Amino acid sequence: MRILVISDIHANLTAFEAVLQDAGKDAWEQIWCLGDVVGYGPDPNECVALLQSFPNHTCLSGNHDWAVLNRLDINSFNVEARQAIHWTQSQLTPESHAYLDGLPSLVIVPPHFTLAHASPRQPVWEYILDASVAAANLLHFETPICLVGHTHTPIIYAYMDDQMMTRTPLYGQPISLNIPDRLIINPGSVGQPRDGDPRAAYALLDLEQMTWEHRRVAYDIAATQARMRQHDLPPRLVARLAYGW
Ligand SMILES: [Zn+2]
């Protein structure tokens, strides 16, 4: 089984379509989506519908998905994110709402994988931004590997020789996942990358070969930005897509 691993689509249909096209139909049989399907971007219903069109997919709930469902206090969001949440709430169809409402926040795929939007310790909220936070999270999942999104930054944390190491992704080069090493891996964000590279990020996982491949693909950022302007979404959210921040 080969898996297309995506996260943080953030209602950016153009980026999502570019990822699907770049990965190709024959390279995977299943999608694992690590949450934040909506929030920030101009295409919430379209992104939900496109994801739903793949019967073989697993999707988690992210903090923006929860915010849209009024499951958390959005005063913890910055002002632009809040405006985008209110706009998304005004657009969401009952079908999209029902889909988001039914998503789990953590999924275990035995024997090797735990999937969480943010972290295994706090599946919707915690940012794993450094090796010490990654190391603290090892106590909170039992499988060898945990996949997370949320920071919008592709990265691998590998626990070896009693140390948590950080590895920067090598795009387009499959690496082998040496079980029982313990790993926390982030595929990066499809719809709003924040690592200074504006291209959409995703990954391919091969469960037979036990390989992982981080990938990037350029998409028509201006097209997404034009739709954001049409909907009066905050200018700072429009601008940041071009910088990958
Ligand atoms: Zn996100």
Question: 35-68: per-residue pLDDT in tens?
Answer: 999 999 999 999 999 999 999 999 999 999 999 9
| pLDDT for 76 | 85
Q: Could you give the CA distance from residue 136 to residue 218 in angstroms, rounded to a whole number?
A: 34
Superfamily of domain covering 2-243: Metallo-dependent phosphatases (3.60.21.10)
| pLDDT for 206 | 98
Q: How far is the CA of 192 from the centre of ligand 1 (A)?
A: 8
Assess whether pLDDT exceeds 80 at residue 180.
no
Q: How far is the CA of 15 from the centre of ligand 1 (A)?
A: 14
Q: Could you give the CA distance from residue 156 to residue 170 in angstroms, rounded to a whole number?
A: 10
| pLDDT for 78 | 93
pLDDT tens for residues 87-106?
999 999 999 999 999 999 99
Q: Could you give the CA distance from residue 200 to residue 136 in angstroms, rounded to a whole number?
A: 29
Neighbours of ion ligand 1 (CB under 5 A): 8, 36
Q: Which two tokens stand for residue 52?
A: 């739903």
Give me the residue spans of the domains in the chain.
Answer: 2-243
Residue 144 φ/ψ region, left for φ over 0, alpha for ψ in the -120 to 50 degree band, beta for the rest: alpha
Q: Which two tokens stand for residue 114?
A: 């735990």
Q: Could you give the CA distance from residue 169 to residue 174 in angstroms, rounded to a whole number?
A: 10
Q: How far is the CA of 144 from the centre of ligand 1 (A)?
A: 24
For residue 132, name the pLDDT band (cuts at 50, 70, 90). Answer: very high
Assess whether pLDDT exceeds 90 at residue 19.
yes
